[in-house]
Structure 1
Amino acid sequence: MKSLKFLAIALLAFVGGAASAQSKTDSLKVLGNCGMCKKHIETALKVKGVSTANWNVKTKVLKVSYDPSKVTLDQVQQKVADAGYDTPKYKATKESYLKLDDCCQYDRTGKEQTSH
């Protein structure tokens, strides 16, 4: 009976390890301003193959975990750009940028904004 339990635990560990081996995590800079930006960026990545997307308002860094057999990092960046936010590889169209809420229209020059 103990060997059967051990075998079941070993099998679950192997299957769990194999599933996580397919996942990849990358970080990239995505300009934005606020909590609404966070919502827009993360919602844009609710697509097949993306398991988690977390954009940090302070650092402007998007951390995304995905299955590269289902979605590529290029596709991830394109989805973010389609939502109106520039990524290192893709720039949002003027139309998608202008659809953002006023508070979300970030400085597109890439310069950090300072408050006085």
Structure 2
Amino acid sequence: MKKSLFKIMVAIVVLLSTTMNAQIKNTKTEEVKIFGNCGMCKKTIEKAVNEADFAKVVWNKETKVATLTYDETKTNKEDILKRIAKAGNDSKLFKAKAKDYDNLPGCCQYDRE
């Protein structure tokens, strides 16, 4: 019984991940540096973008590099980075407003350039 339940759960995860990737058409992938510190930063950065069905961001906290995958007919790198800045995190192109940065949890506040 446990093996059957496990197999069903794995199948659901595979289907969901395939569906998410299949939704993004006309894909373009880029890497950009986004400032942050921790796992909470990762959640904030990714949530700022991943709610849309035409863009996805995966941020690596060790390298501070985010991989942007998006439908270039619906958005662009600049719009994605603006959404991340609105969530409070800086990139090389867009600096978050002070009020947005100040709303980050203490562990997510980094030395700003």
1:48 Cα deviation from its structure 2 partner: 3.9
TM score, norm. by length of structure 2 = 0.75
Q: Which amino acid aligns with 2:93?
A: K
1:71 matched to 2:63? no
Structure 2 spans left out of the alignment, 5+ residues: 1-22
Q: Which amino acid aligns with 1:22?
A: N
1:85 matched to 2:89? yes
Q: Which amino acid aligns with 1:67?
A: D
Which aligned pairs between 1:98-113 and structure 2 lie closer than 5 A? 98-109=102-113
Which aligned pairs between 1:10-49 and structure 2 lie closer than 5 A? 22-46=26-50, 47-49=52-54
Matched-pair identity in %: 40
TM score, norm. by length of structure 1 = 0.73
1:72-109 C-alpha deviation (Å, 9 max, x unpaired): 11100100100001111110000000000000001102
Q: Classify 1:20/1:78 alpha carbon distance in 2 versus 1 (closer, same or farther; 3 Å).
A: closer
1:44 Cα deviation from its structure 2 partner: 0.1
Q: Which amino acid aligns with 1:75?
A: D
- Aligned to 2:36, the other structure's residue is in SS state coil
* Consecutive aligned runs of 4 or more in structure 1 exceeding 3 Å deviation: none
1:3 corresponds to: none
CA distance in 2, matches of 1:20, 1:69: 10
Which structure has the greater CA radius of gyration?
1
**Structure 2 counterpart of 1:60, from 41, 56, 64:** 64
CA distance in 2, matches of 1:85, 1:95: 11
Question: RMSD of aligned C-alpha atoms?
Answer: 1.5
